[in-house]
Structure 1
Amino acid sequence: MEYMKPEEIVELFKKKLKKSTIIDSKIEIKTAGLKKNSYSLIWLEIELKDFKEAVKLLCTIQFPHFAVISDNDTGEEIKLTYHFSLYYGERFKEISLNLTTNLAKNNLKIPTITDLIPGAQTAEREIKEMLGVTVEGLPDLANVFLPKDFPKDVYPLRKDETGAAKMVSKEEEVKKVE
């Protein structure tokens, strides 16, 4: 197997995707352990409209290991970062590749990647139930973590009026009635 260097991967993304697709890119080289072995992290911020194309391109390098989707509610938007590994399990060759995209709060929609990477289904269902993101084309919409009777308009990881504060205010209303 031929291994690409982080710089080559970033250049491939810049070459193959539209110029406006990549908002920002960063490569970090870190060290760990007593022997100070290095490992690489690639951070690419991608326009939402081209996000799925970026994942397709990632799959042409090598089928990536999908880890998780992390999020950040910035107030105006939800920032989603899909964390992947290339060359997973290859000692001192593995590269962490992180694709970030931003969803406006008034249009919380992203296409599913489960047709490309089936293992992303649980994480996509999680952002649906915890953040209120509509994952278009997601084959299974059932909740993973929240009970079936959980209020439909409350999203525990949101920092706005639909998040945890709404749950607390409802709990206070219940206590007043008792």
Structure 2
Amino acid sequence: MQNTAKNPDRITDLLPWAALIAPGVVLNKDGSYQRTLRFRGPDLESSTDAELVATTARLNNALKRLGSGWAIYIEARRSQAQRYSEENRFEDPVSWLVDLERHELFKRDDENFESHYYLTLQFMPPSEAANKLSEAMVKKEGGKKSQDSKPKKLSRKKTAETSKAAVRNCREIR
């Protein structure tokens, strides 16, 4: 499925995407799958040290479960915030004053931004050669090699099952 164009003349020759194979799951030209998610995280600036350690531990625990063949890309984009609503939503005077002060801060140009975060997960199923090599090297319990010392030939069915499992995992992430 690799791009074979030696002199790319279209943007599609330069992009890695081949097809949208499921809602939100892209098949790349190299055979990998990718899914991008938009998320909002907690305000880490106002977090305590204990909260930061707990957040880091949860993230580390989630990432170490992925195994081999996975790549993670994180992107942060900053854009200017939309204008502040002109409606008066508060009837009590204290809330109204707080809202008025916030509205005045919001009027300043080039000072109000929003952050948008994107997480892209990419999975490359193991190649047949890698599967054959690992099967030849992996020993069963008792120190014997799996069945005989010859590596098994990986079927197309097994490769398709691995690919379907990757798509299911991407769907579950939603």
TM-score interval, smaller chain: under 0.3
Q: TM-score, normalised by structure 2?
A: 0.25
Q: TM-score, normalised by structure 1?
A: 0.24
Q: Which of the two has higher C-alpha Rg? A: 2
Larger fraction in helix: 2
Larger fraction in strand: 1
Higher relative contact order (CA 8 A, sep 6+): 2
